[in-house]
């Protein structure tokens, strides 16, 4: 029988424990599918004595993940500690230097250091795999690097943070305020220790920049992403968007344009009848548009023990089978340094504002928009008990700089109360 593939697992949290369970429970199935046994030889975590609900006594223990990465009885270093720097990065670098293949679920580390790590791994003749780093159990990395390798990718977009989608769904379905839905998600344990990673869009943006690198053969550049979280979304926006046939989603979009590589993670309106509009709860969805295949939709759980561990094991199985693919689909040294787009592509926009209830108010707003080159597609005014009238406007396609110029001029009309809300309407 072929020698077993020996794993060293660093990090025994939810995902690491899930990987151990799969290896133990599916040993025979994995051996049949991979053509060789898959075994765990050594592990590392912060606490040796914690009860993780799985038997670990048969594995060697290392307090230091770097020492684990260098062990001679480890063929594949599985990094599940998390964190963009620190032990995760040090141990990954040590594993590559020691001639190990690496499987990781660490989107933050790859978003910030993916280029250097990919170059190091490929120079050493090793593979660095990260299916579990993006969209949990959805095999989107494999889809882009392998299944869609014959396509020029026109656009990649998706909902890639289940916590944000849960909050927005609960606001919509239960009529909760943002603060109420946030507290509910926190009580269920959905939020990161630093909640801004979720609701600030940072977690999802890490994932988007990895997808963009694969889709367009570009170097990973997290700091080039246009980033906005969901903290400013109100229940009024949820309701008003619904009245006009839209849902609000934290949507990531990457596309190559004549202005450069466009990468944005921001709240957007999408048609309520679209696949993205119908996505509810903590589920993720990635939409890929290729020149030959057209549009494909990948939907599934974006986090959790089982789904993420499943993605880790898909990479482990590929290594066991001898499948060796460049980290981002093409050699790391061939990745291009694409300039960020100077501005987002034109789009329709949803505008919500409150106007003083007096003659000529709407005309003044329309004049400001028109002077900025923005035309109105449709408009709706709501009944109101007070002095100010809530008004919704959907524009025809406009460039964001033109819209920003109009938004800056609106307070000068004397009829716009407060700060208008402007959300992009994504064509899906």
pLDDT of residue 190: 87
- Split at pLDDT 50, 70, 90, the class of 344 is confident
Instruction: Give the pLDDT confidence score for residue 192 in this predicted structure.
Output: 85
Mean pLDDT of 380-389: 78
Domain CATH code at residue 38: 3.40.50.720
Residue 252 falls inside a structural domain = yes
29 and 160 share a domain? no
Question: Which CATH number characterizes residue 394's domain?
Answer: 3.30.70.260
Query: Is 207 one of the catalytic residues?
Result: yes
What's the pLDDT score for residue 4? Answer: 97
What total number of domains does the chain contain? Answer: 3
Of 239, 269, 300, which residue is a domain's last? 300
Q: pLDDT digits over 259-293, tens only?
A: 899 999 999 999 999 999 999 999 999 999 999 99
CA angle 189, 194, 199 (to 5 degrees): 80
Please check whether residues 290 and 360 belong to one and the same domain: no
Helix, strand or coil, per DSSP, at residue 205: helix
The mean of the pLDDT values for the chain is: 94
Residue 87: which pLDDT band, with cuts at 50, 70 and 90?
Answer: very high
pLDDT at 244 over 80: yes
Q: Are residues 178 and 253 in the same domain?
A: yes
197 plus 261 within the same structural domain: yes
Domain end call among 239, 270, 300 = 300
In this prediction, residue 227 carries a pLDDT of: 94
- DSSP summary character for residue 145: I
364, part of any domain:
yes
291 and 388 share one domain: no
Of 241-250, 351-360, 405-414, the range with the lowest mean pLDDT is: 351-360
What pLDDT is recorded for position 2?
Answer: 82
Which residues span the domain enclosing 400?
348-425
Percent pLDDT > 70 in the chain is: 99
CA-to-CA distance for 138 and 314, rounded, in angstroms? 11
Instruction: Provide the pLDDT for residue 6.
Output: 98
Catalytically annotated residue among 89, 142, 207, 221: 207
Kindly report the pTM of this predicted structure.
0.93
Average pLDDT score over residue span 58-83 = 97
Helix (H, G, I), strand (E, B) or coil at 266: strand
SS3 242: helix
pLDDT in tens, 154-181: 999 999 999 999 999 999 999 999 999 9
- Two tokens at 234? 């109100």
d(CA 106, CA 130): 7
Asked whether residue 144 is domain-assigned, the answer is: no
- Looking at 104, 133, 165, the residue that finishes a domain is 104
Least confident piece of the model among 53-57, 139-143, 192-196, 278-282: 192-196
- Residue 120 is predicted with a pLDDT of 98
Domain shared by 279 and 158, yes or no? yes
Contacts 24+ apart (CB under 8 A), 340-343: 340/221, 340/224, 340/260, 340/261, 340/262, 340/263, 341/257, 341/259, 341/260, 341/261, 341/262, 341/263, 342/259, 342/260, 343/259, 343/399, 343/400, 343/401
Same-domain status, 49 and 187: no
Domain containing residue 251: CATH number: 3.30.360.10
Alpha-carbon gap, residue 159 to 250, rounded angstroms: 6
Long-range contacts of 48-57 (CB under 8 A, 24+ apart): 50/12, 52/12, 52/17, 52/20, 53/17, 54/17, 54/20, 54/21, 54/24, 55/24, 56/12, 56/20
173 within domain boundaries = yes
> How far apart are the C-alpha atoms of 156 and 218, rounded to whole Å?
14
Residues 181 and 294 in one domain: yes
């Amino acid at each position: 029988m072929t020698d077993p593939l020996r794993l060293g697992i660093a990090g025994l949290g939810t995902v690491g424990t899930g990987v151990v369970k799969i290896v133990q429970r599916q040993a025979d199935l994995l051996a049949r599918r991979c053509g060789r046994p898959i075994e765990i030889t050594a592990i590392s975590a912060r606490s040796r004595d914690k009860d993780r609900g799985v038997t670990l006594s048969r594995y060697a223990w290392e307090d230091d993940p770097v020492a684990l990465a260098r062990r001679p009885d480890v063929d594949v270093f599985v990094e599940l500690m998390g964190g963009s720097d620190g032990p995760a990065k040090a141990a990954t670098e040590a594993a590559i230097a020691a001639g190990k293949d690496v499987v990781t679920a660490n989107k933050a580390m790859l978003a910030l250091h993916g280029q250097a790590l990919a170059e190091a791994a490929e120079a050493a003749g090793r593979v660095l795999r990260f299916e579990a780093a993006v969209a949990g159990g959805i095999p989107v990395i494999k889809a882009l690097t392998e299944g869609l390798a014959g396509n020029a990718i026109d656009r990649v977009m998706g909902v890639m943070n289940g916590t944000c989608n849960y909050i927005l769904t609960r606001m919509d379905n239960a009529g909760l305020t943002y603060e109420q839905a946030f507290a509910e998600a926190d009580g269920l344990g959905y939020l990161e220790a630093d909640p801004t990673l979720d609701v600030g869009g940072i977690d999802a943006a890490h994932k988007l920049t990895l997808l963009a690198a694969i889709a367009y053969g570009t170097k990973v550049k997290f700091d080039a992403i246009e980033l906005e979280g969901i903290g400013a979304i109100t229940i009024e926006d949820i309701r008003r968007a619904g009245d006009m046939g839209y849902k609000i989603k934290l949507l990531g979009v990457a596309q190559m344009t004549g202005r450069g590589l466009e990468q944005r993670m921001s709240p957007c309106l999408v048609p309520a009848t679209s696949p993205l509009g119908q996505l509810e709860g903590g589920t993720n969805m990635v939409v890929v548009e290729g020149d030959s295949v057209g549009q494909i939709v990948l939907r599934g759980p974006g986090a959790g023990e089982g789904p993420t561990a499943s993605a880790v094991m898909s990479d482990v199985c590929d290594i066991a089978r001898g499948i060796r693919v460049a980290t981002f689909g093409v050699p790391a040294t061939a990745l291009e340094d694409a300039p960020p787009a100077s501005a987002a592509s034109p789009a329709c926009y949803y505008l919500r504002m409150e106007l003083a209830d007096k003659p000529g108010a709407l005309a003044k707003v329309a004049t400001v928009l028109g002077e900025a080159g923005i035309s109105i597609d449709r408009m709706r005014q709501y009944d109101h008990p007070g002095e100010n009238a809530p008004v919704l406007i959907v524009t025809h396609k406009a460039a964001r700089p033109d819209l920003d110029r109009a938004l800056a001029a609106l307070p000068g009309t004397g009829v716009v109360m407060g700060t208008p809300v402007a959300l992009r309407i994504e064509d899906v």
